[in-house]
Amino acid sequence: MLDIEITNIYRLNGESAVKAFCDIIVSNILLVKGLRIVEGRNGLFVRMPAKQGKDGKWYESISPMSKEIRATLNETIIKAFTE
């Protein structure tokens, strides 16, 4: 099981789909900076840090290794954001 600590949430004002940025520590061994909390068609979700490639597409710099881990990260971060 992952131990996820949210160290910072930087809330944004305005009409942008990006509502906040956050930093997390995973299992007290890995600091991940620059996750984005985004308002999508189906509600809030978390985007991993990404960089734009030469082809103009965006590619995640960090990717969860399973759907379950992605869901756990999403759930934990959205909960902290809405509290």
> For each successive 10 residues of the chain (83 residues), what is the average pLDDT?
90 94 95 96 95 95 92 94 92
Tell me which residue has tokens 């509502």. 19
Q: Alpha-carbon distance 21 to 46, whole Å? A: 9
Q: What is the pLDDT of residue 2?
A: 79
CB contact set of 76 (below 8 Å; sequence gap of 6+): 4, 6
The domains found in the chain, sorted by start residue, are 4-82 (3.30.1120.40)
pTM to 2 decimal places: 0.87
